[in-house]
Structure 1
């Protein structure tokens, strides 16, 4: 793997080791700021809305001004915004700041993923995204434990630590990461003449790729309950903040221990079949929370949906990298990233509404049902998505 790839992995590890705020945001809003569950859900949804727009903007700027400039600007503004958010007290200040932090802080992701696709050839892309995913989760496992300890003493330190590690990642990019964007070709210039709207919509109109993104949305609607309703449900059942952090840290620890061994095995199978298994496991893991009452029960659920996450996230990023034309990698990664942003918007709104008005049983059984629906969708889409992926790889081999 190229040196720049390893620098990006190291930067992501540091950044994720300090990504405290999103994990504890719903708990912070309800326990420290005294907002209702519904209000907290709406604020967390604003983070999802900002992230949704960040995916589109980050992908667009990654293709037009470069991967490096996009990452550097987004991380710098995001880090400063997170620190400022820690000092906000009024709802009228917190709500727009959460949106702004998400917009600026998440816009680096499509650019980083496009840079990885630039640096690594197709035959090594699943391995590369697996390594990056592994590094992210080493950081997450550290961050969840540290975040739980910090939240127990002072929520303010969550925001300061998160912002500082984000700025450290920006500093690393400024010093050691060159531009990786391919030289714009004539067809890229023609695309620009068709306008910004065409650029943003093109990935969704690309055959089965739009359906692939829709299935990602369904899966993420379930998966992202771990940053909205799951901490609230655990707290309601008497789980302390330190235990909450330790339970969520199981996610990163399992990925760190198992992902390197599972990745070679998963690569042997059709990508869509692996995604179907992953969606099923994510649904099952969250469905188990209808029965969980103790940290051990919640931990078992984390273990199951983490296995599903291992099947879904690295494989999906590799599929996007394989399908995207080289001059549109940022926009395709942004289009896929939109599934996270849109789900980040809807998951807390829907999840907290169901939790408050219908209870945990209804919420968690619904998560199981949505996971199964997404799995069936991946199985139905498998033939068309596989053909598109193979066609794009063959086209690049012929032209390159």
Structure 2
């Protein structure tokens, strides 16, 4: 009888330990986080910047998360397939990091209501879809101020990806900064209709240099425009990440984006069951936009002026898109004392005075 009682007690204890072990495993199960990238991770630019943010999140949250990424995913049907596969594989949180992923993200999100989705640079949200972006144009304005001081030809070249508001904002902010210190300077834009295409980016940069541009700016993902500027002996601004090493003489600075803080905060919110589908749009004040190191060729007084603008933008005492602002034909678009609201900026489809050429439809 004692033997039977002993066996029963051992069985109960064993069962209890197994239950505790199961509960412990459930509690310690890491949050699975997926990333969809439009280009290769590489070593500079948009996708590289997002992956740096992912790695920062991993460093800060450690064993609480497990991450996966898929690179070079084209926008459209391929994106939908990749996003769905990540959801099917049990990812709890998925970041889709390109504008063209917007509709595929929303479609998959409806099919997986328990998965949280975050879409970069989009404007459509859902019950389980949030959006996020950075105020890239804040850094663009500062590069414009530098260009205005550094150009000799008063012609600046700009390599554009797609003619969408996100890119147009940057061109306009850059031009406003440029002409605030050099009213005679103008901006020429070449569109390549791609986010990442080093060959096209370099070709566009070289075309602009051939047209007299002595400074190149870009809203594309590879360092090819900076490399072209280095080879041709002109200046350039990088984008997303520090591209100095690709053109140490050419690279003046660049508007960079820091995603790590946002990725970490978002994953923590999901872990803490505090996540909500919001729209996040941060700039200097939020630490999402930063400037790359300044080239020694830039005079100290110019750097001081730029740093003052940066502080004023961050604390709200200076607003980039505040009137009077004129369109290309010289007519007033934003009257004096009026500021564009976020909706106006997010739907921007016109050029400011100083940008040459027409904006593609």
TM-score bracket for the superposition, by shorter chain length: under 0.3
Higher-Rg structure is 2
TM-score (normalised: structure 2):
0.27
Which structure shows the bigger proportion of residues in strand conformation? Answer: 2
Higher relative contact order (CA 8 A, sep 6+): 1
